[in-house]
Amino acid sequence: MEPTGPSPRKPLPRRWRRSLAFSCAAALILTAARTGTPAARSEPGTHSAPRRAADSARISFTRDVAPVLQKNCQVCHSPGGIGPMPLLTYEHARRHGPLIKQVVQAREMPPYQYDTHIGIQKLQHDWRLSDRDIATILRWVDEGMPEGDPADMPPAPKLPEPGQYQLAAQYGPPDLVIKAAKYSVPAVGQDRWWRPAVPSGLTTDRCIKAIETKPTVAGRSVTHHANSTFVPGNVTTEPDAVGGGGPGSVRLSEYALGKIGEIVPADACRIAPAGSNVLFDIHYFPNGKAVADDQLEVGIWFHGPEVTPQTRHRQTLGLYALQSGSGDFEIEPHGTLVTQGMHRFNTPVRIDSWQPHGHLRLVAKRLEVLYPDGRRETLSMVSNWNPGWHHSHVYAEDAAPLLPAGSVIINTAWYDNTDKNPANPDPDQWVGIGDRTTDEMSHAWIAVTQLDEASYQRLLAQRAKK
C-alpha cells in the first residue's frame, strides 16, 4: 500500500522546540482537578459585572485570556512546574504574548499532537485547545494585549504539587505503588539502561483501572522511557523479557517522555497477576545535569474485588511494529523514509488507545484499518510529531473502534533526516533503528480489548441505539 503522506509540517524555530519539549504536562488532569472550581465553571464574558459596550467588544486578559491559561497552561507554567516560564499574571502573559500566539496558532501548545480534522476526534483527556480559545488568544495579541478590568480576573486555581501523581486528581491515591531500585544518572555520557525487578506484593489476581509511571521531579528530564512488565515471582532479572515477551510475562505499562498514564475501560481487565515481580526497563539519557539516586515508580489503581478477569474482557497493551521483513532500516543523510506495518486480528477486538512512538527524525504517524469487506479507514493521525511528548490517545468509550474478525490495522510512519526537521540534531548522520535516543524506532503501543463474536455484536447494537 502506498502511503499518501502527512500534511506539510509547519516548522518552528529550533529554540522554541527545545523550550517547548518539556512544557505543560498533565493538562488532562488539571481539567479534572479543577472541575467545580470557579475557574473551571467560568466562561469568557460570564463572570463580570456589566460593562460598557465598547469594552465588551474587546478581548481582555482578565476576562477572556486568563481563564484559558488557567485551564490549559498554568499547571506547568507556574513556579516549580516544568514550563520554561510562569504564565500566572497579566505581566507574565504580556511579556510572552507573541510567543504564546505563535505556539498556540501552530498547535504546538498545549503539547498534544493529534490532527484535528482526520480520524476519530472523540478522545478522553484531550489537551487540544478549542478553535474558540485559540481565536481568543490570537485576537488578544493582535489587539495589543489589553489587561482589562482587574475585577474580572477569576480566582487562581489550586495547582497540583510538582511530583504528585497526576491521575490522583481523578482516582485518589494509587492503590499500589511499585518502586524501582535507585539509580544515579551522570551529567554526561551515553544512553543507559536500568533493569531491576521488584516484588509486586500482589496476593490475588487484580484488574487494573489505571496506571501512571512517575519519574522523580529531578529525573523526568533524563528518563527517556520506562517499560514495566509483570514476570513470574521467581524472576529477578530476565533480559529476554525486556520486550514483554518472556514466558509467563504480562505487560504492565509503557512510559515515554511526556506521557501521563493509561486508563482501562470499565468493561475490560488488564490483569495484575498474583505472586508476580515487576521487571523495569528504564532508559536514561544524560542531559548535562547529574541526578543522584533516581527512583522511578509505578502507581496502580485497581477495580474493586468484584471485578475479576472472569467477569471482564481481557485487555492487553502491545507493541505493534511498523516495519516488515528483517525489521531493520537506515535513513541516509539528508534523506527521508516511510515505514509501514500491518497486523491482522483473527477475532473481534476493540482498539482502546493508540500511542505513536519514535525519536528525533520521526515527523508523522498514522493508524488505519482495512476491514474484511475492503473498506479502508483512517483512525488517527499525528502530522506534527513532537519527540518530547508521547501521548497515549485514549478513544472515548463510544468512539473506540470496534473491529470484526479479519480486520487489519495499518501503521505508517514518516521520517525526515534533513535540516528541514527542526528536531534533527545532525542531518549529516546515517540513522538506523536502535534503542539509543539518536537512533530511530518504528512502532506504536496499542491497547486492545479482546472480544468474542457475541460481545462484539452486543457492543455494536448498544452503539446503534445511541
Q: Rounded to an integer, what distance in angstroms lies between the CA atom of residue 29 and that of residue 248?
A: 34
Residue with cell 528518563: 223
CA 287 → CA 36, 84, 106, 119, 290, distances in Å? Answer: 40, 16, 27, 36, 8
Q: What is the mean pLDDT of residues 311-324?
A: 86
Identify which has the larger pLDDT, 17 or 460: 460
| Torsion, Cα of 236, 238, 244, 245 (10° steps) | -130
Is 369 buried (19+), middle (13-18) or exposed (0-12) by CB count in 10 A?
middle
Question: What pLDDT was estimated at residue 324?
Answer: 60
- Per-chain mean pLDDT for the chain: 85
Q: Report residue 225 as a C-alpha cell.
A: 522511557
Q: Which residues pair with 284 in a beta bridge?
A: 192, 223
pLDDT tens digits for range 20-67 = 333 333 333 333 333 333 233 333 333 444 444 455 678 999 999 999
Residues 392/353, Cβ–Cβ less than 8 Å: yes
Q: Report residue 440 as a C-alpha cell.
A: 530511530
Q: Rounded to an integer, what distance in angstroms lies between the CA atom of residue 334 and that of residue 181?
A: 41
DSSP one-letter code for 373: T
Question: What pLDDT was estimated at residue 342?
Answer: 93
Least confidently predicted of 15-24, 56-65, 185-194, 417-426: 15-24
Residues 136/59, Cβ–Cβ less than 8 Å: yes
Residues 200/271, Cβ–Cβ less than 8 Å: no
- Which of these, 125, 178, 120, 207, lies nearest to 392 by C-alpha position? 125
Residue with cell 515471582: 233
CA 198 → CA 106, 245, 250, 275, distances in Å? Answer: 43, 18, 15, 11
Question: What pLDDT was estimated at residue 32?
Answer: 32
Q: Report residue 155 as a C-alpha cell.
A: 480566582
Q: pTM for this structure?
A: 0.80
Question: What pLDDT was estimated at residue 387?
Answer: 87
Q: Rounded to an integer, what distance in angstroms lies between the CA atom of residue 199 and that of residue 50?
A: 62
Q: Report residue 456 as a C-alpha cell.
A: 462484539
Q: What is the mean pLDDT of residues 418-424?
A: 95
| Torsion, Cα of 203, 207, 211, 213 (10° steps) | 30
CA 42 → CA 16, 48, 68, 77, 346, distances in Å? Answer: 31, 10, 10, 20, 49
b/e map 216-252, b = 16+ CB within 10 Å: beebbbbbbbbbbbbbbbebeebeebbebebeebbbb
Least confidently predicted of 2-11, 22-31, 72-81, 316-325: 22-31
Chain centroid, CA 243 distance in Å: 20
What are the φ and ψ backbone dihedral angles of 194, each rounded to 5 degrees? -130, 120
Q: Rounded to an integer, what distance in angstroms lies between the CA atom of residue 191 and that of residue 464?
A: 50
pLDDT tens digits for range 135-151 = 999 999 999 999 999 99
Q: Rounded to an integer, what distance in angstroms lies between the CA atom of residue 237 and that of residue 415?
A: 35
Q: Rounded to an integer, what distance in angstroms lies between the CA atom of residue 443 and that of residue 37?
A: 40
Residue 358 has pLDDT above 60, yes or no: yes
Identify which has the larger pLDDT, 20 or 445: 445
Q: What percent of the chain has pLDDT over 70?
A: 84
Residue 414 has pLDDT above 60, yes or no: yes
What are the φ and ψ backbone dihedral angles of 67, each rounded to 5 degrees? -60, -35
Coil, strand or helix at 298: strand
Residues 337/322, Cβ–Cβ less than 8 Å: no
Question: What pLDDT was estimated at residue 8?
Answer: 42
Q: Where are the alpha helices (DSSP H) in 129-259?
A: 131-142, 168-171
Q: Which residues pair with 450 in a beta bridge?
A: 349
